[in-house]
Amino acid sequence: MNVFVTGASGWIGSAVVDELIARGHEVVGLARSDASAAALAAKGARVLRGDLDDLDSIGSGAKSAEAVIHLANKHDWSDPAASNAAERAAVQTIGDALAGTGRPFLLASGVAGLTEGRPATEADPSPFHGPDSPRGGSENLALEFADRGVHSVSLRFAPTVHGMGDHGFIAAIAAVARDKGVSGYPGDGGNRWAAVHRTDAARLVGLALAKAPAGARLHAVAEEGVSTREIAIAIGRAYDLPVASVAPDDVMDHFGWIGMFFGRDLSATSDLTRESLDWTPTGPTLLADLDAGAYGPR
């Protein structure tokens, strides 16, 4: 299958490209820079130059493909409105390009914010609707295209897709610990984060392309929840730092932008995903990666 992938050179995207090529698919990756283009070409993927704001390139790539996997996101926490607008515009463009074709459209989303007080499940619809909501309401927008003849599938990733070389949320929390000289956790540290290893997440995407029904909401979650206290302790071990609680009222001041996530319970299950795709995570746990030095020296 000819698969167009946005975010193809990113942390998750580069692993997904490897998985797709290993499964015999032909991959066309959207590349913003010369370095990204060279990295994709070295993997054996074809390159389409453009970025998340280049809707002409995104639309062209989608129209020429037999399937689209949309993984790109600006993740500009200094201007979330711009990130949300770009995400929604890209999803609208891809959906319009695929309308009436029945072709797969797999969209990256997340488990964050789906529920309060309990782990999120695949049965929980996204509460985010409209352009002013988180990620521009892109999951609901993409799934609405099922009524226009698009095989839409939501890929909800855990808040940490971890592994050696990760520069995402856990890396940001580790950076705060190094900067502050203490590895902190919010309150009593009882709130939990779902987690998945990068290789398991990529394998799930490959299985979703092959098996997932239209309208499916899938959870790339290997661990239902790792407590923020456990995460802080592991970071403290990695850097030989003291570990301490941060009062709830001080979380944003201490952690900065990452505090809006680290201070919340972002747990989730993946029972339905495992059963429907026959997906069994086998990669290292988050704490194993932390202890192995994935986010700092040991």
The first and second tokens of residue 287, run together, are 């704490």
Contact 16, 205 (CB under 8 A): yes
Instruction: Write the DSSP symbol of residue 8.
Output: T
Which residue reads 């990256």 in tokens?
A: 108
For residues 225, 81, 5, 164, the Cα torsion angle rounded to the nearest 10 degrees is -40
Whole-number Å distance between alpha carbons of 40 and 273: 29
Q: How, if at all, do strands 223-227 and 192-197 pair? A: antiparallel
Which pLDDT does position 77 carry in this prediction?
A: 75
Q: 147: number of CA atoms within 13 Å, CB side?
A: 4
Contact 173, 243 (CB under 8 A): no
Chain center to CA of 16: 12
- What average pLDDT score do residues 226-238 get? 98
Contact 222, 190 (CB under 8 A): no
User: How does pLDDT run across 183-210, given as a tens digit for each residue?
Assistant: 999 999 999 999 999 999 999 999 999 9
Whole-number Å distance between alpha carbons of 153 and 142: 8
Which pLDDT does position 120 carry in this prediction?
A: 98
Instruction: Write the DSSP symbol of residue 114.
Output: S
Which pLDDT does position 298 carry in this prediction?
A: 65
Which pLDDT does position 272 carry in this prediction?
A: 98
User: How does pLDDT run across 131-165, given as a tens digit for each residue?
Assistant: 988 898 999 999 999 999 999 999 999 999 999 99
- What average pLDDT score do residues 206-219 get? 97
User: How does pLDDT run across 5-44, given as a tens digit for each residue?
Assistant: 999 999 999 999 999 999 999 999 999 999 999 999 999 9
H-helix or E-strand containing 153? strand 151-157
User: How does pLDDT run across 265-296, given as a tens digit for each residue?
Assistant: 999 999 999 999 999 999 999 999 999 999 98
Which pLDDT does position 14 carry in this prediction?
A: 97
The CA radius of gyration of the chain, in Å to the nearest whole number, is 19
- Residue 111, pLDDT > 80, answer yes
Which pLDDT does position 283 carry in this prediction?
A: 97
Name residues whose C-beta falls within 8 Å of residue 39's C-beta, 6 or more positions apart in sequence. Answer: 9, 14
- What average pLDDT score do residues 243-264 get? 96
